[in-house]
Structure 1
Amino acid sequence: MLVSLYPWLKAFHIMAVIAWMAGLFYLPRLFVHHAERAAPGSEMAETFVMMEQKLLRLIMNPSMIASWVLGVLLILSLGLGTVMSEGWFHVKLTAVIAMTVFHMWCARHRRLFAEGGATLSGRRYRIMNEVPTLLMIVIVIMVVVKPF
């Protein structure tokens, strides 16, 4: 049954991943501007808090969940044993777990900003903004090139 749905599962999985990645690229960039340009409690800070919350709750969380659910369905459609025997898949899965941990780090920092307790500098958030790019590179190479 799932095998016949594979192209659809893959298409929706790719769309969900694109939406998730867009949020993972944008939220830390919002943190940079929030940390550098908005005094705690200011109107600008409240605007950033609202933008960060909506991005996380309306785009990032649903797309992360969809990415995971559709990814698991893709694995099941191919056969768990088949996929789990591939070395590239283990690297990809580790990178996706790391991406999920980064998502949770972003959620924590969004909450810290909302509570007025964020202490990282704009520079630190700029550095953290590179994490999803590095993970994306690993994931795409593993899926497309399958080096091992």
Structure 2
Amino acid sequence: LFSFEEVSTMFPSRTMVLAFFSASVAAITLDWWNPTGTGKLTLFQTTYNTPPAFAEYIGFILLGILGGLIGAVFVHYNIMICAGRRKGTPWRNKVPEVFEVLLICFCTAVTSFPNRYTCVLSSATIRSLFHACSDTSPSRP
């Protein structure tokens, strides 16, 4: 499904149909097999007793606009970087591909490890995000 979502404009129609079919078979298989023992397709779920307040919709809209703008800037710079990395360019002639991989690994480690939400396993992080919050602030007289 990830490749179906990310590069669907490049796929021919036959590949799109096969990706949809395989995703449907995977969902039916998960429903039948029940690997989590919960009877659900996913391991985690949330239930909301109250609908969102109007002010929250404003925040969601602003967050969507901000995400779109950041995404547009990212795509712009990614196109520039990819153009500079093509074969025959000075960057490609001087810098081996292994160095690029090591640089990405280093940047990921430096930015992810200090963050308490990204240095632990993803399933443990997701589980902690779905637990109810408790008031851990000290009591005031």
**Which TM bucket (shorter chain)?**
0.3 to 0.5
Higher relative contact order (CA 8 A, sep 6+): 1
Which has the larger helix fraction?
A: 1
- TM-score under structure 1 length normalisation: 0.32
- TM-score under structure 2 length normalisation: 0.33
